[in-house]
Amino acid sequence: MHKWEEHLAEYLSFLEELSDVREGNLRFGRRVVAASDVAGQFFCEKKVEMQYTQGEIETEAKNVGTQAHGKLLDDAVEVNREELWQSIYGADPVLALEALFFAKFKDIVVAGKPDSVLFRNGLPLVVLEHKFSKRLVAYETHHVQARMYGLLLNNMGFDTRLLFYAIVVADPAARSDWSLKEKVLDAIDANGPKEGILELDNARVFLCKFNRGDAEKDLDWALKFWKKEREAIPTQNTNKCKTCEYLEICRG
Q: Could you tell me if residue 244 is inside a domain? A: no
Amino acid at 106: K
The model's pLDDT over 177-198, given as tens digits with 9 standing for 90+, comes to: 888 999 999 999 999 999 999 9
According to the model, what pLDDT value does residue 75 have?
Answer: 53
Please check whether residue 124 is in contact with residue 166, taking contact to mean a CB–CB distance below 8 angstroms.
no
Q: For the stretch 70-106, what's the b/e string if a residue is b when 16 or more beta carbons lie within 10 angstroms of its beta carbon? A: ebbeeeeeeeeeeebbbbbbeeeebebbebebbbebe
Q: Could you tell me if residue 246 is inside a domain? A: no
Q: Which domain holds residue 121?
A: 3-238
Residue 73 has pLDDT above 50, yes or no: no
Q: Could you tell me if residue 249 is inside a domain? A: no
Please check whether residue 175 is in contact with residue 165, taking contact to mean a CB–CB distance below 8 angstroms.
no
What domain count does the chain have?
1
Q: Could you tell me if residue 245 is inside a domain? A: no
Q: Could you tell me if residue 116 is inside a domain? A: yes
Backbone angles phi, psi at 219, to 5 degrees: -70, -40
CATH of the domain at 130: 3.90.320
Q: For the stretch 178-199, what's the b/e string if a residue is b when 16 or more beta carbons lie within 10 angstroms of its beta carbon? A: eebbebbbebbeebeeeeeebe
pTM above 0.75, yes or no: yes
Q: Could you tell me if residue 12 is inside a domain? A: yes
Q: Could you tell me if residue 215 is inside a domain? A: yes
The model's pLDDT over 153-163, given as tens digits with 9 standing for 90+, comes to: 999 999 999 99
Q: Could you tell me if residue 181 is inside a domain? A: yes
| Choice between 164 and 75, residue whose per-residue pLDDT is larger | 164
